[in-house]
Amino acid sequence: MASEFKKKMFWRAVVAEFLAMSLFIFISIGSALGFNFPVVGNKTSTRSQDNVKVSLAFGLSIATMAQSVGHISGAHLNPAVTLGLLLSCQISIFKALMYIIAQCLGAVVATAILSGVTSSLPNNLLGLNALSDGINAGQGLGIEIIATLQLVLCVLATTDRRRNDVSGSAPLAIGLSVALGHLLAIDYTGCGINPARSFGSALIANNFENHWIFWVGPIIGGAGAALIYDFILAPRSSDLTDRMKVWTSGQVEEYDLEGDDMNSRVEMKPK
């Protein structure tokens, strides 16, 4: 932990997570709220939310942010992804903790700004995740687990540095996975799959009803994806000692030995 704490590149990565998360939340939730504004010249019509539009907004914004800061922080932008990479022994416990804090702060700041931008909306819940009518807590939890599992599994597989068969854009593949999760889950839970995103809306809207689902579900899904990928689909050869070293000190190659070189390891880019 001490070695990471002293690295400027480490703190740049934390700031990158905060900034990218802020932009991601503002753009994606802003797209979901936009349908509430009246249509000029046809204010009598009733508009319904376009799930495809919202899903694409979430997916494309993740892909864009991953392309923008992936070489700096790995662009986790989701505590469930961070947890998956932690259990996969790709980051240290300290880095995971700082990333999750940065992600939650970014979500809160972006949602607060969005609250000001959309202050004219009546009953504005700022993209609050909630169970749909007819969906109970257990069913919502199951949806969140499955939607998050496929996302974290995609992240782990796409960024696996042992692979040499990955072609195309890794950020785009992960963005499409986010969009896929939203296409599945929006009608059931509003689609959390990202505890920080859910926390920002809940805090600013001051509504924590069933909020636990949007933490427990993604945590189980992210952890399950890491265990399935690392121990069943593509087992790693590292033993417990090696894993403990990564959890306490980070990966040896993660930062340049000189301290601040921008050629440090890129988590979001397949190698």
* Each residue's pLDDT tens digit, 201-258: 999 999 999 999 999 999 999 999 999 999 999 887 766 677 777 767 766 554 333 3
**Mean pLDDT value across the chain:** 86
Residue 42 has pLDDT above 50, yes or no: yes
Residue 260 has pLDDT above 80, yes or no: no
N-terminal to C-terminal alpha carbon distance within the chain: 26
CA–CA distance, 212 with 198 (Å, rounded to integer): 10
Domains of the chain with bracketed CATH: 4-35+49-118+126-244 (1.20.1080.10)
The radius of gyration computed from the CA coordinates of the chain, to the nearest angstrom, equals 19
Instruction: Give the per-residue pLDDT at 46.
Output: 53
Residue 107 has pLDDT above 80, yes or no: yes
Cβ partners under 8 Å of residue 17, min gap 6? 69, 73, 75, 76, 77, 99, 102, 103, 106
* Each residue's pLDDT tens digit, 63-92: 999 999 999 999 999 999 999 999 988 888
Decide if 107 contacts 25 (C-beta within 8 A): yes
Decide if 138 contacts 234 (C-beta within 8 A): no
CA–CA distance, 57 with 60 (Å, rounded to integer): 5
Instruction: Give the per-residue pLDDT at 167.
Output: 78
The percent of residues above 70 in pLDDT, for the chain, comes to 83
- In the structure encoding, which two tokens stand for residue 80, read together? 């469930």
Q: Which residues of 211-221 are buried (b: 16+ CB within 10 A; e: fewer)?
A: bebbbebbbbb
Of 150-159, 194-203, 258-267, the range with the lowest mean pLDDT is 258-267
Instruction: Give the per-residue pLDDT at 168.
Output: 81
CA–CA distance, 189 with 169 (Å, rounded to integer): 29
